Amino acid sequence: MSNQSSQVIIGNNVIIGKNVSFGNFVIIYDHVEIGDNCIIGDFVIIGETSNPQASTSPLTKIGKSCVIRSHSLLYAGCTLGDFVHLGNRATIREFSLVGNHCSIGLGAELQGNCVIGDYSRLQSFVSVGQHTKIGRFVFIYPYAVFTNDPLPPSTQLEGVEIGDFTQVSAGVILLAGASIGKFSLISVNSKVGGMFEDDSFIEGNPGRRIGKLSKMPFFNKEGKRHYPWPYQYSTNMPWQGLDFDDWAIKENISLF
């Protein structure tokens, strides 16, 4: 552990890896593990409990080389993989699982019992309801909202499921129980419920499938079809500098 400020409070049964840097006014509650080479910003709280009466807290685990920016809040029982970046004031509630190489932006929140796959990106002010499952390589743009209560208020919550490589545009509202296939795109400000197959372009309120995303007339400046997007975009993706098809075969990933 390094760069520990005098304003850092560390609880019991805490394991801190090598070369971990802390900002000012950080609180680490009991039963937390932090991997090597992490950066913990000012006013971060890790291992917060929602049940002060509990005698013990579930393990809160942060992988190696993570960046937790100022004022972020991680509740007890959540797990972050390696190389995860949290923006300022991000909130991760209990028992959420965030995969490797993910980023969760400014003011975004996971409301608990969520699963986020590797390399997925949630941008600023995304709100993700409990029991949501988001696949790998999914991009979710600002102010998207994932709901989970079909008959509010109730306790019969139904999470949203998003398939691998799908893009959820800014301002989208996903209704409780919605299921979106892989390699799909939801257009800006759409309100979407129900089930949609792979390779869908979804648009409107209520959202409907316009057709196969791979056949839509979305072209980049070079005149190439943009979707499936991994052929056109690889920044900080594991196929960067590689042929996507070669990488997909090696990883046993099929497009559709």
Q: How far is residue 244's CA from residue 242's CA, in Å, rounded to a whole number? A: 6
CA 218 to chain centre: 26
pLDDT of 65: 98
- The residue ranking higher by pLDDT, 222 or 106, is 106
pLDDT at 2: 52
Q: What is the pLDDT of residue 7?
A: 86
Residue 204 counted as domain residue: yes
Query: In this structure, is residue 246 part of a structural domain?
Result: no
Per-residue pLDDT tens digits for 106-147: 999 999 999 999 999 999 999 999 999 999 999 999 999 999
Distance CA 238, CA 119 (A): 9
**pLDDT, position 147:** 98
Residue 110: which of 126, 95, 92 has the closest Cα? Answer: 92
Query: Is residue 86 domain-resident?
Result: yes
**Domain count of the chain?**
1
Q: Give the per-residue pLDDT at 51.
A: 73
Q: Which domain holds residue 154?
A: 9-214
What is the rounded average pLDDT of the residues 224-235? Answer: 95
The CATH number for 104's domain is: 2.160.10.10
What are 145's two structure tokens?
């909202």
Give the pairing type, strands 207-212 and 73-75.
Answer: unpaired
Task: Band the pLDDT of 6: cuts 50, 70, 90.
Answer: low
Give the type of residue at 129.
Answer: G
Tens of pLDDT along 51-95? 776 667 899 999 999 999 999 999 999 999 999 999 999 999 999
Q: Which residue has the higher pLDDT, 253 or 46?
A: 46
| pTM for this predicted structure | 0.94
Q: Is residue 219 part of a domain?
A: no
The answer to whether position 18 is within a domain reads: yes
In Å, how far from its chain's centre is CA 89? 14
Residue 81 in any domain: the answer is yes
Per the CB < 8 A criterion, the answer to whether 15 and 35 are in contact is no
Residues 6+ away with beta carbon under 8 Å from 13: 30, 31, 32
pLDDT of residue 118: 98
CB atoms within 10 A of CB 164: 19
Q: How confident is the model at residue 255 (pLDDT cuts 50, 70, 90)?
A: confident
Evaluate whether residue 90 is within a structural domain.
yes
188: confidence class by pLDDT, cuts 50, 70, 90: very high
Total residues belonging to the chain: 256
Alpha helices in the chain (DSSP H): 244-250
Percentage of residues of the chain with pLDDT beyond 90? 90
Tokens describing residue 3: 């760069």
Q: In whole angstroms, give the CA distance from residue 115 to residue 96.
A: 6
Q: Quick check: 5 pLDDT over 70?
A: no
Task: Look at residue 229 and tell me whether its pLDDT is greater than 90.
Answer: yes
> With the C-alpha atoms ordered 13, 17, 19, 25, is the resulting torsion angle positive or negative?
negative
pLDDT at residue number 18:
97
